[in-house]
Amino acid sequence: MKIAILPGDGIGPEIVAQAVKVLNALDEKFELETAPVGGAGYEAAGHPLPEATLALAKAADAVLFGAVGDWKYDTLDRPLRPEQAILGLRKNLGLFANLRPAILYPELAGASTLKPEVVSGLDILIIRELTGDIYFGQPRGVRECPDGPFKGQREGFDTMRYAEGEIRRIAHVAFQAAQKRGKRLTSVDKANVLETFQFWKDIVTDVHKEYPDVALDHMYVDNAAMQLVRAPKKFDVIVTGNMFGDILSDAAAMLTGSIGMLPSASLDANNKGLYEPSHGSAPDIAGKGVANPLATILSAAMMLRYSLGRAEQAERIENAVKAVLAQGLRTPDIHEAGTTKVGTEQMGDAVVKALA
Amino acid sequence: MKIAILPGDGIGPEIVAQAVKVLNALDEKFELETAPVGGAGYEAAGHPLPEATLALAKAADAVLFGAVGDWKYDTLDRPLRPEQAILGLRKNLGLFANLRPAILYPELAGASTLKPEVVSGLDILIIRELTGDIYFGQPRGVRECPDGPFKGQREGFDTMRYAEGEIRRIAHVAFQAAQKRGKRLTSVDKANVLETFQFWKDIVTDVHKEYPDVALDHMYVDNAAMQLVRAPKKFDVIVTGNMFGDILSDAAAMLTGSIGMLPSASLDANNKGLYEPSHGSAPDIAGKGVANPLATILSAAMMLRYSLGRAEQAERIENAVKAVLAQGLRTPDIHEAGTTKVGTEQMGDAVVKALA
Ligand SMILES: CC(C)[C@H](C(=O)O)[C@@H](O)C(=O)O
Ligand SMILES: CC(C)[C@H](C(=O)O)[C@@H](O)C(=O)O
């Protein structure tokens, strides 16, 4: 089993190092190969997704990804900016299913900006389609406005689109995930305005026929954003498109107040996947040894479960993370009075110790 | 001065009746003319936006709108569904600037699902572009997928677009609003992915040159959704496109926990406008006399200020609303222990009384 390790920028290298330490502490050894990506890819090879990095990711059985981005690359042309690496990996590896759990650990309930009774015990799973929608639709660009009151002016434009097969495959992933959980699926759309999402709604409704044991409901995206704030625990699994999923999954993660704890998986049709923390590269704290490595360590656990068929090892890691929380260890982002503040490495070491 | 009164569906007629009562209690009398819209338009004339209703709205100096929509119209073809009325009014009247304050009244801090320290004193203004973006962009529809791995299948598609002049005029509205408030403007985009919003960002940056006294920052929409949950009070004025604004303004409204209190204005280039509560038609409680009329009454106040040049009358109404809250009067949606529960009409009557 070969794992591509792509640390990236900012805190990426520090947090990935901890996850690697955890992987190396398991009985079974995996082949780990590291390559630069994002700003680090640009520095090393003049491109955020160097060819060798992409080749490694393609050849590997799974990819463990840190984070990309740093202010110093903000002035580069868009195709050279760090975040293009993540878009390129998704598209080139066909990673169409993004799974983002928003879970609030009981010990961390105080970290949320929401009242404890609204979020304690929160456990929702957002499934975001990741290779379609307005992220990749053509045509797009800046052109002369062809008609209407602004005719002749410059205009920016993009194309939103979803083909039937694209919707079907993500719907199957979502219904199957719901079957393994609370058996409730909310499909989020904007069918009252967008043709793309009326079509989405129709196809999801059709796929539902194959999953009669799952309760399906449809919700407009604006209402979903409200309900996430009002009563997030009413959700079980949410499925939506790439653009709405980008917004809602980040909002849902922030409900927990501890985005430093949340892993994510991006899967292809054969359960090969890319695993990364839900948070970003946080260049402001990079190199200071204070970043929370737990989201990355939990991403490694998801990788063991989904792509490497090692569910038991995944559970061992997840239990080790629960154990260090129970011990009261906290990186600064989740620290509160009465708990012990630790740094990135100490936290990684504590997880390794708790594995035993 | 002529005001078109469009009560609509669900609780629309009840809440609009209270706002009309308040308008009629002012010293100056306005000419009020009522017409059906939404489901009521469909019942009366076979269309959610009957020609006579549109003609009235065009001829009037301002429009006071209740709410539209009811489950019984969900099975109609999309062009006949109630919400098409609101899209049609926006487009036909050129109402490109949607102003949505999210304010948390001190008396209602407990209504929020967020911790008091995170939201108490919240006062942000979201300015949403309302006649462009993917809401109206052509082409759109369902077609045969022209290329890629799903070639030949059916696909739903839409066009996102913003012309330079469209962005400039909403940016001016936003900078001027910020000048009258905390002098900080956050432009929300997705410039890292969308051509439309890289263009948006460039134009907003250019317009900023004319407003050196306003501090401008740019934020990605996913981050904005997170920051609204994490630290909403850091915002002053937010400006964004139609689609992102739909989502973020509803999320921001829900932060207050009292969406029954929040008015909105949709303005054209000459400050003619349509005014409506930020909440929906709530068919489940329609006709029960329990709906909160304050958002509609506050919408009438906004109308007096923005479209009718009657700022003093607007303030009188706003102070009357504050007075009834201070008296402890609450409709069921904002009721808590120690306050007095009242119905829709009683609340309207109390505001009229407090005007004196
Ligand atoms: C960096 C950006 C292109 C990316 C996205 O929008 O998908 C990020 O926000 C994410 O959610 O992974
Ligand atoms: C009803 C719908 C078309 C409308 C919109 O999306 O604009 C509504 O959500 C709103 O925000 O006024």
Q: What count of Cα atoms within 13 Å lies in the side-chain half-sphere of residue B322? A: 11
User: Residue A330 in 3-state DSSP?
Assistant: strand
CA of B43 to the centre of ligand 1 (A): 45
At a CB cut-off of 8 Å and minimum separation 6, what does B317 contact? B22, B297, B298, B300, B301, B304, B351, B355
When comparing pLDDT for B223 and A74, which is higher? B223
| pTM attached to this predicted model | 0.97
- Mutate which of A92, A250, A278 to test chain B, going by most B C-beta atoms within 10 A? A250
Q: Is the pLDDT of residue B317 over 90?
A: yes
* Predicted confidence (pLDDT) per residue in A271-323, tens digit: 999 999 999 999 999 999 999 999 999 999 999 999 999 999 999 999 999 99
Fold of A1-103+264-356: Isopropylmalate Dehydrogenase (3.40.718)
> Average pLDDT of B42-60?
98
The pLDDT value recorded for residue B74 is 86
CATH topology of domain B1-99+262-356: Isopropylmalate Dehydrogenase (3.40.718)
B222 is catalytic: yes
Q: A145 and chain B: CB distance < 8 Å anywhere?
A: yes
**Chain B CB within 8 Å of residue A234 CB:** no
pLDDT digits (tens, 9 = 90+) for B283-311: 999 999 999 999 999 999 999 999 999 99
Q: Please give the share of chain A, as a percent, with pLDDT higher than 70.
A: 100
Instruction: Specify the pLDDT at position A257.
Output: 92
Place of tokens 């403007």: B185
Q: Average per-residue pLDDT in chain A?
A: 97
CA-wise closest residue to A131 among A32, A246, A28, A227: A246
Is the pLDDT assigned to residue A230 strictly greater than 90?
A: yes
**pLDDT average, residue stretch A151-170:** 98
pLDDT value for B87 = 96
**Cβ A257 vs Cβ A113: under 8 Å:** yes
Atom 8 in ligand 1: residue holding the nearest Cα: A246
Q: Is B83 a pocket residue for ligand 2 (Cβ < 6 Å)?
A: yes
| A1-103+264-356 and A123-255 agree in CATH topology | yes
Ligand in closest contact with the CA of B242: 2
Strand order in the sheet with A154-163: A141-144, A154-163, B154-163, B141-144
Which A-chain residues 65-94 have CB contacts (< 8 A) with chain B? 78, 81, 83, 87
Predicted local confidence at residue A74, as pLDDT: 86
Give the pocket of ligand 1 (CB within 6 Å): A 83, 86-87, 246; B 192-193, 222
A54: pLDDT strictly greater than 90? yes
Looking at residue B355, what is its pLDDT?
96
Which residues of A are known catalytic residues?
Answer: 135, 190, 222, 246, 250
Distance between CA atoms of residues A211 and A234, nearest Å: 20
Q: Is beta strand B141-144 parallel, antiparallel or unpaired with respect to B154-163?
A: antiparallel
Contacts of B166 in chain A (CB under 8 A): 150
* Helix axes of A294-306 and A12-24: crossing angle, nearest 10 degrees: 50
Is pLDDT at A25 greater than 90 in this prediction? yes
Residue B17 burial (CB count, 10 A): 17
Burial of B115 (0-12, 13-18, 19+ CB in 10 A): middle
Is 3.40.718.10 the CATH number for A123-255?
yes
Mean pLDDT of the A21-45 span: 97
pLDDT at A174: 98
Q: Say if residues A104 and A120 touch (Cβ distance below 8 Å).
A: yes
Confidence label for B179 from pLDDT (cuts 50, 70 and 90): very high
Residue window 188-207, chain A: list those with CB within 8 Å of chain B. 190, 192-200
Give the whole-angstrom CA distance, residue B21 versus residue A257. Answer: 45
Between β-strands B184-189 and B237-240, what pairing exists: parallel, antiparallel or unpaired? parallel
Residue B246 catalytic? yes
CB contact under 8 A, A150 and B166: yes
Q: Within an 8 Å CB–CB cutoff, is residue B154 touching chain A?
A: yes
Percent residues over pLDDT 90 in chain B: 97
pLDDT over 90 (residue B85) = yes
pLDDT in tens, B322-347: 999 999 999 999 999 999 999 999 99
pLDDT tens-digit profile of A91-111? 999 999 999 999 999 899 899
In this predicted structure, the answer to whether residue B128 has a pLDDT above a threshold of 90 is yes
Can you give the residue ranges of every domain in chain A?
1-103+264-356, 123-255
| Mean pLDDT, residues B78-98 | 96
